Amino acid sequence: MFSLKNKTALVTGSTFGIGLGILQVLARAGANVVMNGRKTPPDLDQLLKELSSHGNRAIFIPADVSQAKDRERLFQESLKAFGRFDILVNNAGSFFDSGWDRLNEETFDSTMNLNVKATFFMSKRVIDHCRELKQKGSIVLVASTNSFAAERGSPCYDTSKGALLMMTRSLAVQTFKDSVNVNALCPGLVDTPLVRKLAGDDATFNMIGRNVPKGRFCTIEECGYAVLYMVSDEGQYMTGQHITLDGGILAVQHTAVDDLGAKTPS
């Protein structure tokens, strides 16, 4: 059950954080995996050894997916290494917002080029490949709870993640007859190096985690398990949909009354 044996999976932006967690889970399920990032991680040999310890293979291909030539090279080298291409997880993305007063076209363009444009054209490349060979394929876009609810200080990021959710639906509509599934993962607060950096210190990080309805951050492995279902044979009826992993954040209505510490009517 949930076996990916003999399948090939590429996860963009997978040298750390959510991408690495997804890659690890897919590797444990037996997939041959392609790790990707702009820079070579210092512990690459150890990471590849761990990823390829499940009767599978693992390689690293450095590439900046915001660049068209790098995207095509990444796809071609992945295909050459394993002879087939089955799963794409578009995880590469970043947060470039630095305050409303400093928001400019460069910030907006950087966000959209990486978070949206790269995802769209990586997905199109895989869809075209699957159509040409008449084979099944699975694509996952890593969106966010920011796809549904905005936060102060992140207008570019929020806009990009909202776009990914509609992109998921639109690509799914284009591929209904192609045996290609397109879905999205929408994580909330996940324990990653980037989130810890944004928190500033352990005390703040821990406080934020306690404020999640479930009382903690999501783990990168939990993100991986959700993706595993979406790309497995067992999840093939699902397309144009999303899985939200937020510990209950979006289920809670936060109002000014909450800020005052007052009790709301039951």
| Residue 7 CB-density burial (10 A; 0-12 exposed, 13-18 middle, 19+ buried) | buried
User: Which residues are part of the catalytic machinery?
Assistant: 157
**223 alpha carbon, distance to own chain's centre:** 8
Distance CA 195, CA 220 (A): 12
Angle at 14 between CA 183 and CA 166, to 5 degrees: 25
Distance CA 36, CA 39 (A): 9
Q: Which residues contact 29 (CB under 8 A, 6 or more apart)?
A: 2, 3, 4, 5, 54, 228, 232
DSSP secondary structure letters along 168-206: HHHHHHHTTTTTEEEEEEEE-SB--HHHHHHH-SHHHHH
Please check whether residue 10 is in contact with residue 88, taking contact to mean a CB–CB distance below 8 angstroms: yes
Cα distances (Å, whole numbers) of residue 253 to 152, 162, 249: 17, 20, 9
